[in-house]
Amino acid sequence: MRTSVKIVAVGLLAGAAYLGFWPGDGPQDSASQAVPGEASGTPGASAGAADPPASARASTIIAGLGVVEPTGGTIELASELPGVITVLHVAEGDRVKSGDIVAELGNGELRAKVAQAQAQLAIRRADLLRIENGSRLQEVAQGESRVAELRAGLELAEADLQRATQLQKNGTVSRRALQAAANVRTVALKQLDTAEEGLSLLKEGSRAEETLAARAEVDLAQEQLAEAEAYVAKSVIRASRDGTVLRLLREAGEAVSTQPATAIAEIGDTSRLVVRAQIDEADIADLVVGQSAEIAAPALGGRRLTGRIERISPRIGTKIVNADTADEKRDARVLDVIVALEPGTDLPVNLRVDVFIDTSDRVASLDNDAPPSATPDWVIRR
């Protein structure tokens, strides 16, 4: 009987040891155990201080979906005129500088209008030059000769009229013949008056208002030429900034319009890339410009890129980048955060990535009197 009691006692003690109990000790607290794989202390920490649990450190990392963009975003080049694309001067992936020709529209009719405007300007300039220089000596001489000729004709007409008057009194000439002689004399007198006025104008030169009118005609012709040339210039689509041709949206031979505007090409500066990360509004309290971030994506093959928050949007909006998963909240409200990647990073534009932002340095950023631009007004200071 005593042997049986001993065997039972030994069995109870072994069971208690297996379950973690011992006389005088309570149950072990699993939360107080060291995290596997973690050191028992941190550099510079006081002796005996334990590392925070992994779950506590993980709470300083916030994640969101993002998309790769060129710095400054992308722009779509469009024509200011309707027409048909005749030439494309670039291909996708080409580097362009501001002012480089990207495409041309058919502009034969516009160039013809330029030629017409140039000819009209030449005519107006010649008229102005003639008016400013005044009459030539030869023209004055011709005017004087014309006056002398008409004066002689008038004297002859007056002599014929006098003779006809005498003959009519004698009954030799009819009254109708007398009237005809009087009409000839009247016409000769008017022609002489006109010629003398013309000669006077030749000698006096142009009046001031004539010169002003001629100059105004020249100015108008110049404006018409500038307008025609401007239309020709609009038929040539040029790059508005330095960058890379990301996509050609039209091909040669296709028509473009202005209502609505038809985009021809998309360009962006890929020399420096950023990631537009979308952070759920529930996680934005600890965001500060300058915080570090890691970028991951299947396209990176397990490699992670680093970057820092460069800009934080001042408004919350709806998601534009989706993970395309069944359990995704597509109606979530998010804040756009721009993460600058390291210079020289080469990634495809519009690549979807996962962004992990480390908010553990938030307190240090705020304690070091960060500039106001680095700390949005809505940041919650704890």
Position 47 scores a pLDDT of 33
CA atoms within 13 A on the CB side of 3: 0
Supply the pLDDT for residue 59: 66
Predicted pLDDT at 361: 62
pLDDT in tens, 99-114: 999 999 999 999 999 9
More confident residue, 317 or 13: 317
Give the residue among 276, 278, 282, 287 at the shortest CA–CA distance from 377: 287
pLDDT digits (tens, 9 = 90+) for 69-88: 998 889 999 999 999 999 99
- Find out whether 70 and 96 touch, Cβ atoms under 8 Å: no
Least Cα distance to 270 among 74, 102, 97 occurs for: 74
- Predicted confidence (pLDDT) at residue 368 exceeds the cutoff of 70: no
Distance CA 362, CA 320 (A): 27
For residue 167, pLDDT over 70 is answered with yes
Domain ranges across the chain = 58-72+269-374, 74-106+235-267, 113-230
Q: Which of 51-55, 320-324, 348-352 comes out lowest in average pLDDT?
A: 51-55
**Predicted pLDDT at 206:** 61
Specify the range with the lowest mean pLDDT, choosing from 20-34, 127-141, 190-204. 20-34
pLDDT at 164 over 80: yes
pLDDT in tens, 231-268: 999 999 999 999 999 999 999 999 999 888 899 999 99
What is the length of the chain? 382
Band (pLDDT 50/70/90 cuts) for residue 363 is very low
Sheet architecture: strand order including 255-256? 236-238, 101-105, 83-88, 255-256
Note whether 83 and 105 are within 8 A (CB). Answer: yes
CATH class of the region 58-72+269-374: mainly beta
Confidence of residue 6 (pLDDT cuts 50, 70, 90): very low
Question: How many CB atoms are closer than 10 A to CB 169?
Answer: 10
pLDDT given for residue 235 in this prediction: 94
- pLDDT for residue 30 is more than 50: no
> From CA 201, how far away is CA 68, in angstroms rounded?
78
Return the closest-CA partner of residue 232 out of 336, 106, 339: 106
pLDDT digits (tens, 9 = 90+) for 180-196: 888 988 998 899 888 88
Q: Are 224 and 120 in contact (CB under 8 A)?
A: yes
For domain 74-106+235-267, give the fold: OB fold (Dihydrolipoamide Acetyltransferase, E2P) (2.40.50)
Min mean pLDDT across 164-178, 201-215, 289-303 is at 201-215
Are residues 381 and 285 in contact, defined by beta-carbon separation less than 8 angstroms?
no
